Amino acid sequence: MMTTNQLRKRFLDFFKSKDHAIISSDSLMPKNDPSVLFTSAGMNQFKEQFLGKITNFSRVATSQKCLRTGDLEKVGHTPSHHTFFEMLGNFSFGDYFKKEAIAWAWEFLTKDLNIGPERLWVSVYEEDNESYNIWLEEIGIPEDKIYKFGQKENFWPANAIKDGPNGLCGPCSEIFFDWGEDTGCGKENCSPSCDCGRFVEIWNLVFTQFNRKEGGKLEPLPKKNIDTGMGLERMASCIQGVKTNFEIDIFKPIVDEIRKILGIKSMESVKKINCIADHIRAVVFAIGDGVLPSNEGRGYVIRKLIRRASWLAQELEFKKPFLYKLVAKICNLMNEPYPELTEKRENIASIIISEEERFMSNIKEGAGFLQGIITELKSQNINKIPGQTIFKLYDTYGFPLELTEVFAKDNNLELDLAGFNQEMAMQRQKARLASNIAADIFSKDILDFLPTQFVGYETTQQEAQITQIIKAKQNIDRIKEGDEAWVVLDKTTFYGESGGQIGDTGKITSVDKKSSVDVLDAKQIDGSIVHIVKVKNGEFKIQDSVIAKVDCQRRQAIRRSHTSTHLLHAALRKVLGQHVQQAGSLVEPDYFRFDFTHFKDLKEEELNKIQDLINEKIRANNKVGVEIIQKDRALESGAIALFGEKYGEQVRVVSIGDYSKEFCGGTHLDYTGNIGTVLIYSESSIGSGLRRIQVYTGELAYEKLRNNFQNIKNLSVMLKSTTEGVSREIESLVDKNRKLDKEVGSLTEKNISLQITDIIKDSKKVIKGKSYFVHQFKSLEVNVLRRASDLVINKLLKKSVVFLASDRGLFICRVSKDLKDKVSASDILGQILRPFGGSGGGRPDFAQGGIKDKGKTNQIMKEAQKIIKKELSK
């Protein structure tokens, strides 16, 4: 049996023999392409080639990691729908066209894979006679096995002629694998147009030969392109003779492991098990490419997949974290094509278990939130849970609809499913807009920037020529005093913002120095460095010779920060472990923030050790080396490539002694000693498995240290202590203050106990034989307020509700034991505080909570009177 790994290699080797460059898979997180949420097709990374902007190769082949969520509800329910999958593809950019694409597809399938021609059928666009004739006359497929379909089925994008978008488009030809007459509907006229399962589309050949204009006009392209896609898993199922992708060699072991962990027998709950297997594969690969769970964008999709898989297991009566246990299995199965996954295995697993635990905690929180809503609805005699509430449970807490249905049924309530579906439709529309390729992604009207040669590594001043001036997104010939515009030079010393490092600022002046502009920022865009400028005096026009001069002092401060990030990265990996990966950064003058993957808080001693290591390397004054070498050679030497980044065959490697070696295009110091010092001043969590450290460097670090020391000196004078003794003196003051607070609390308690009879007499009210007591105290801490509630409830004893407040925004509700089965302290507290933005919780007999806006306390006390009276009147 041919394995999936062998199939992938066969495909790439076949097209290598046809003079295709073999390009490694792009990241699932597209670089510099806001038009797509995830890489969803093989052609995504070749957008510039399709547009003719880059001509570094004319024919390539790839096995591309892809992630799509458009058919999420079908995953697990069909043999071949997935969120994550690999797409095999061969591409031509103005080189070969239909004849070669069709012939090579046929040759690969029938000769290399030995698939019998009788098992293959094809379809073409109904007006594409050229493709039809190639299949019929040159390949020799019988006429009755070639189907003509309309633009919905056989044109890319679907229905593009009729509905758009404008831009590159063309007909396509699909190849189908026939499982045989014993599969599917069994009808004599069954064909590739039937969805019974007998015919499986295995390869789509797209012939990009038109540029669609307004009104559906198709303008032939001077250079025609080929874009093909073959689903690796789907092809593997055909080759391995199994009817679903979940049975192939890289999927079945995951399915089996899930069954083993959950204790589910073979052939039981097939759809749910398959769905879990699909989702965990997608999650592992996405996190491996730097997509971390969050509440927005890509991270939200990954969080949703984890929660969906976790809930499916809970439906199968397994209520513990388990997805993280599957990471090792997936990494082992995919180690041959993607060995980098294994290196990140520990971190991926840690992030997933953290998400699983968070979801289970959210389920409990969501249950409390929903119970409060149910209580409120019942108090208002409303018998339906609103759609917005159901959606909030689903979206914020990850609360599955099925669980909301259980709560509703237990409380004799209906669900506003129409409202929920409307909210879901709005969310899907937002996701669709974010994940689909933008309408004008291949439009020829996109503004092109002319290329720039960056010479800023060697110098900070350079004579250059203006090649482009842009204002209000239009190319113009000149700019004058007061104008703000974008300027492109043929060469520049200005570093354009990228890789986390902000852009340079400075000046561009005319050679005669009569005219000048302030460079406010610089950006890297499509191989150009765009200078964002404001004309200070004179004027500039296209082809003017100018002098570009960077603000050297600011550049030096940025260099200090950027070199420090490399030292920090190495220190983190040494102290915390090799699982640490950079996940983002912002490099500014004498300041930087550094995001990295790690699954728990850093201890103070760890932070101190990291800071000490960095400053040790600064004092060592190591040389910072830079070399341009082949990517494979760089990786073999141990250089770290940041995930989510796309690199060419030649890479720039920055080394610091034998301590740090990274791929990096930023500006750096020559020696670490020029940093001066670093000061870590903040470390925090910014997401599941993601931490952020903020650091001062150089002059700013020295200034902060000097100010801190001055503050300590000032404190030592106030405390009449030495600078070394300040901490001890403050601890002594805090201890004294704590004792005084305790004494004040004790005196307050005694005072309340002496007055409690009079307080109850003034505030106690009775309704239907039940008493309630609502009272506000001044300046009580929560422990004293709790003690006061004990005194009151013990005095009232039977059939009573107590609601106490402190003007510090603290509240306690008590219910006597003989009433707690009829009235809940937790429910009452929720009803009272929720409308004022407060929160709290507890038991049927005791609950406490608080609000941020303490000025609302008087309003809350009035509302408490009404709500408690209403509850006791039932």
Dist CA 126 CA 325 (whole Å): 50
Decide: helix, strand or coil at residue 822.
coil
Which range has highest mean pLDDT (188-192, 390-394, 467-471)?
467-471
- pLDDT at 35 (0 to 100): 60
| Contact indicator for 369, 397 with CB cutoff of 8 Å | yes
Dist CA 741 CA 748 (whole Å): 10
Q: Which two tokens stand for residue 847?
A: 């609950």
Using alpha carbons, select from 216, 218, 217, 270 the residue that is nearest to residue 246.
Answer: 270
Using alpha carbons, select from 678, 458, 640, 642 the residue that is nearest to residue 563.
Answer: 678
Side-chain-facing half-sphere of 633: CA atoms under 13 Å: 9
- pLDDT at 159 (0 to 100): 87
Residue position matching structure tokens 């040759």: 107
Confidence class for position 675, pLDDT limits 50, 70, 90: very high
61 Cβ contact list (under 8 Å, min separation 6): 11, 12, 15, 16, 20, 21, 22, 23, 88, 89, 90, 91
Q: Which two tokens stand for residue 568?
A: 């920090």
Work out whether the CA dihedral 535, 537, 542, 547 comes out positive or negative: negative
| Contact indicator for 749, 783 with CB cutoff of 8 Å | no
Dist CA 515 CA 575 (whole Å): 53
- pLDDT at 431 (0 to 100): 58
Decide: helix, strand or coil at residue 597.
strand
Dist CA 191 CA 632 (whole Å): 47
Dist CA 486 CA 519 (whole Å): 9
| Contact indicator for 214, 222 with CB cutoff of 8 Å | no
Dist CA 515 CA 541 (whole Å): 11
| Contact indicator for 289, 644 with CB cutoff of 8 Å | yes
Dist CA 859 CA 865 (whole Å): 10
Residue 627 has pLDDT above 50, yes or no: yes
**In the chain, pLDDT over 70 holds for what percent of residues?**
96
- pLDDT at 520 (0 to 100): 96
Dist CA 816 CA 822 (whole Å): 11
Angle between helical axes of 401-410 and 387-396 (0-180°, round to 10)? 130
Which range has highest mean pLDDT (423-437, 525-539, 607-621)?
607-621
In 600-733, where do the E strands start and end?
Answer: 624-630, 650-656, 660-663, 678-687, 690-697
- pLDDT at 203 (0 to 100): 97
- pLDDT at 433 (0 to 100): 53
Confidence class for position 280, pLDDT limits 50, 70, 90: very high
Dist CA 566 CA 661 (whole Å): 8
Dist CA 39 CA 43 (whole Å): 9
Distances (CA, A) of 526 to 47, 213, 523, 610: 11, 25, 10, 37
Buried b (16+ CB within 10 A) or exposed e, 554-565: bbbbbbbbbbbb
Using alpha carbons, select from 555, 572, 561, 563 the residue that is nearest to residue 672.
Answer: 563
Dist CA 49 CA 59 (whole Å): 10
Residue 438 has pLDDT above 60, yes or no: no
Q: Which two tokens stand for residue 838?
A: 């407060």
What is the DSSP code (8-state) at residue 520? E
What is the DSSP code (8-state) at residue 502? P
Among 158-167, 457-466, 534-543, the range scoring the smallest mean pLDDT is 158-167
Residue 583 has pLDDT above 50, yes or no: yes
**Quick one: average pLDDT of 528-550?**
96
Confidence class for position 644, pLDDT limits 50, 70, 90: low
Q: Beta strand 453-454 with 491-492: parallel, antiparallel or unpaired?
A: parallel
Using alpha carbons, select from 568, 666, 558 the residue that is nearest to residue 616.
Answer: 568
What is the tens place of the pLDDT at every residue in 179-235? 998 898 888 889 998 989 899 999 999 999 998 888 888 999 888 999 999 999 999
Q: Which two tokens stand for residue 72?
A: 């999420």
Q: Which two tokens stand for residue 357?
A: 């635990």
| Contact indicator for 782, 810 with CB cutoff of 8 Å | yes
What is the tens place of the pLDDT at every residue in 19-49? 999 999 988 987 656 567 899 888 888 887 8
- pLDDT at 441 (0 to 100): 36
| Contact indicator for 593, 502 with CB cutoff of 8 Å | no
- pLDDT at 446 (0 to 100): 45
**Quick one: average pLDDT of 594-608?**
91
Residue 270 has pLDDT above 80, yes or no: yes
Decide: helix, strand or coil at residue 224.
strand
> CA dihedral in degrees (377, 381, 386, 389; nearest 10)?
0
491: exposed, middle or buried (Cβ count in 10 Å: 0-12, 13-18, 19+): middle
Distances (CA, A) of 502 to 104, 290, 587, 639: 47, 21, 6, 23
Dist CA 572 CA 771 (whole Å): 62
Dist CA 84 CA 298 (whole Å): 13
Q: Which two tokens stand for residue 60?
A: 């390539």
Confidence class for position 539, pLDDT limits 50, 70, 90: very high
Tell me the backbone φ, ψ of residue 59, rounded to 5 degrees.
-145, 130
What is the DSSP code (8-state) at residue 674? G
* Residue 38 CA to its chain's centroid (Å): 10
| Contact indicator for 852, 833 with CB cutoff of 8 Å | no
| Contact indicator for 560, 654 with CB cutoff of 8 Å | no
* Number of neighbours of residue 406 by Cβ within 10 angstroms: 10
Between 479 and 765, whose confidence is greater?
A: 479
**Quick one: average pLDDT of 857-871?**
89
Dist CA 869 CA 871 (whole Å): 6
- pLDDT at 453 (0 to 100): 95
Confidence class for position 430, pLDDT limits 50, 70, 90: low
704 Cβ contact list (under 8 Å, min separation 6): 679, 681, 696
Dist CA 98 CA 89 (whole Å): 15
Confidence class for position 344, pLDDT limits 50, 70, 90: confident
Residue 585 has pLDDT above 80, yes or no: yes
What is the tens place of the pLDDT at every residue in 800-825? 999 999 988 999 999 998 888 888 89
Tell me the backbone φ, ψ of residue 669, rounded to 5 degrees.
-75, 165
Strand partners, 485: 533
Dist CA 310 CA 560 (whole Å): 45
Residue position matching structure tokens 């003051």: 733
**Quick one: average pLDDT of 853-870?**
89
Q: Provide the whole-model pTM.
A: 0.70
Using alpha carbons, select from 718, 714, 637, 624 the residue that is nearest to residue 675.
Answer: 624
**In the chain, pLDDT over 90 holds for what percent of residues?**
54
**Quick one: average pLDDT of 384-402?**
84
What integer best gives the mean pLDDT of the chain?
89
Which helix (DSSP H) or strand (DSSP E) does residue 541 occupy? strand 539-541
Tell me the backbone φ, ψ of residue 169, rounded to 5 degrees.
-160, 175
| Contact indicator for 422, 391 with CB cutoff of 8 Å | no
Strand partners, 651: 629
- pLDDT at 346 (0 to 100): 86
